[in-house]
Structure 1
Amino acid sequence: MTDQVIDVSELRRVYGGGFEAVRGISFAVGRGELFALLGTNGAGKTSTLEVLEGLAAPAAGRVRVLGRNPYTERAEVRPRIGVMLQEGGFPSELTVLETVRMWAGCTSGARPVGEALEIVGLGKRHGVRVKQLSGGEKRRLDLALALLGRPEVLFLDEPTTGLDAEGRRETWELVRALRDEGTTVLLTTHYLEEAEQLADRLAILHEGRIAAEGRVADVVAAQPSHVAFDLPEGYFLGDLPPLAELGVTGHEMTGRRVRLRTNELQRAATGLLLWARDADIALGGLDVRAASLEEAFLRIAREAGQGQGTEAGAGADMGTAKAEVAA
């Protein structure tokens, strides 16, 4: 990557008592790229973001944003970045317009206040007090403030929390437009569909380490696809064509329900359907599904936990991950 806007090398973040939240991670983000950081609760996403934003110093490692140290050279970096925190903490009695005007007064080269509000769809809510805004509207106000300075680099920490489906997709379109205009975006999100829709590349964190990194399509493709169906009465797993010939790499069976794993989805599905046709049987509940980011995320979290010898902890993380996916 010839134009690295964000460069992280062996970053470590340690809290009081010696808890190591980030354990030596490295990644880079190019100009005009959207990079997503994913992970279960406590994986180290926000701890990493705070270092990149210049809010905290790393315990070890090297971090550069726009070629500078965001903590020791904060005065040079801050005017060129936009930050959307998980919670803005606005004065509740101010109106939307007053809040943005106040922020604009502290922002170098701020865009017009009305323009910032129109971008995020709050133009008609300018006279409403902050305390009267919905949760989703407060997130839009957060985003308006992050965009005031026309940032070269935009940090988005859970940007669509509290938004309804329409608001979430409108925010996606806005973020895509910013990226297309050359803004570099680093995003954390619990919504895996959001990462799949927006990210050029991503990293999945688990217990402070990067468990997987790469283009979204490559991370997903590394996980198996699935074919699931109900075997008719009188038929057994052994009646199927040899699974190896179908390109099947593994299987599970619960009652009459069969689930096949494969890295060659077309081959497996075609062979199975031809067998069913020739046998003149119907496969109930047939479900042919390519690998998804959700499946990749859950599998990586589980395997990372097992690889570190923390099976019980991995089980807890998996429960957290599933809850986040469903959120």
Structure 2
Amino acid sequence: MPDAGPIEQVLYEVKKTIVGQDPLLERLVVALLARGHILVEGVPGLAKTLAVKSLAEAIGGEFHRVQFTPDLVPADILGTRVYHQPTGEFQVSLGPVFTNLLLADEINRAPAKVQSALLEVMQERQVTIGRETHRVPNPFLVMATQNPIENEGTYPLPEAQTDRFMMKVLVGYPSVTEEFVIVERALTPAAVIQKIIDPGTLVGLQQQTDRVYVDPSLIEFAVHLAHATREPGRIGLDDLARYVTYGASPRSSISLVLAGRALAFIRGRDYAVPADLTDLALDVLRHRLVLSYEALSDDVTADLILQKILANLPVPEPAGRR
């Protein structure tokens, strides 16, 4: 059986400062174990920044935050070559992207060339400055945030770029009880987050996650789910076809299986079950659908389409390692 104890301790430590937001914290850890990245959408003041910073402290990793603005240039996040006058040579100054956890705050406020520069690092996990290539630290997680209620001065992420994020998590307001605890905690000094593991231990946990067994029937389910978003008529949902211009890419199937495998590890199993995939399906797929104007006019969301598809798609029987 896998030892998910250290991950549970990390989550427990982070919850000393974060009230509620359990789905966000769980998905952050899933992304860390599956070597993916997260796009978080939520209004200001929901502790998105604090969640990532607390997680970095608990895993003993380095944390950097970049506030994206319209005047940002790629060198501001990647780094650049600086002329050193005493030696007459150029030296490389590495940017804030060289860290374990990077918070790209309000990523849709930066122009396309900056977004592209960051997303290239996310995919390749390396940066080329001049003629030299520099790899980012391992582990490496980018959490990008965007504000859903403010459009002025923003540059929406193109579909090809949002597809690079393993998950898109929607963060909502806390409940009345949770908000009471948040306000109560604000009246006392902030809790000190203890280092539970180190980056080397996290890499070992990633390798354990890689050994979690995924039955071929679950891979088949992930593929059929992605195909159903492209051709809803294949599962008897012809009425949805007019709402979807483009369905999920093949990257969605890969991401769903990898994320489900990581969730199975967190839940203490060395094999994945259908619930590991279905619990994450909305987060993995919602940002990969390109909806039609008809969907916007009828107030049909990606989540609503995915929920209908999941309700009509046969789910394989739970099975352990064979």
Measured against the shorter chain, the TM-score band is 0.3 to 0.5
Larger radius of gyration between Structure 1 and Structure 2 = 1
The structure showing larger relative contact order (alpha-carbon pairs under 8 Å, at least 6 residues apart) is: 2
Give the structure with the higher percent strand: 1
TM-score (norm 1): 0.37
Instruction: Determine which structure has the larger helix proportion and give its number.
Output: 2
